[in-house]
Copies of this chain bind each other. A is one copy, B any other.
Amino acid sequence: MNIKDKTVSDSKTIMTEMIMPNDTNPLGNLMGGNLMRWMDIAAGVCAAKHAEAHVVTAAVDHVSFDLPIKLGNVITITAQITRAFNSSMEVYVEVQVAEITGANPRKSNHAYFSFVALNESNLKPTKVHKISPQNKIEWDRYNAATRRRELRLVLSGRLKPEEAKEIKEIFSN
């Protein structure tokens, strides 16, 4: 495989789902875990398309659930690569929600997922294409990806807090 740069839109993935009864809790709200399950699938399809390889979820960053999503609502999940590292990719996932009639559209959630690309024959990590951002939003997400990655390494115990340079800077003011 020729490892050339690819754009964010090359692998942008959109998933629409209607909230069914079994997706909701006894109050009639979409359960957070069901939303994360769909976000993971959308993000995984996006990452596999970018990597042109099978992928596995490596991590999910902090997710907030601020607004209730109700039975019968329609959600639109958009997944986009923010940045590719050696064999891993960060995917930005945003959830829009609206009534079934399209009324009251609003952003519901977002989260950053990390995936690792695997070589199908030996299931070892495999190199992925770099991302070439095309506009300011894509460049902003691209640039901030290293900071989020640092936090991820700290939170999973792979980096000592005192070695997390970018994060230290934020908290050191």
Binding site for B on A (CB under 8 A): 11, 13-18, 20-22, 24-27, 29, 31-34, 36-42, 44-45, 48-49, 51-54, 56-66, 68, 71-72, 74, 98, 100-103, 113, 118, 123, 151-152, 155-156, 161-162, 164, 167-168, 170-173
Given known contacts A20-B22, A45-B16, is B101 in contact with A51 (CB within 8 Å)?
yes
**Are the CB atoms of A42 and B57 closer together than 8 Å?**
no
CA A27 – CA B54 in complex, angstroms? Answer: 8
CA A65 – CA B51 in complex, angstroms? Answer: 19
**Are the CB atoms of B16 and A36 closer together than 8 Å?**
no
- List B contacts of A64 (CB < 8 A): 58-59, 152, 155-156
CA A17 – CA B18 in complex, angstroms? Answer: 13
**Are the CB atoms of A60 and B62 closer together than 8 Å?**
yes
Please give me the residue from chain B that is nearest to A60 by CB atom: B63
CA A25 – CA B118 in complex, angstroms? Answer: 13
- List B contacts of A101 (CB < 8 A): 48-49, 51-54
Given known contacts A22-B22, A102-B52, A162-B173, is B27 in contact with A123 (CB within 8 Å)?
yes
Which among A18, A24, A123 has the highest number of chain B CB atoms within 10 Å? Answer: A18
Considering the complex of A and B, which 6 residue pairs feature the smallest CB-CB distances, nearest first? A33-B40, A32-B57, A26-B72, A33-B37, A21-B21, A49-B102
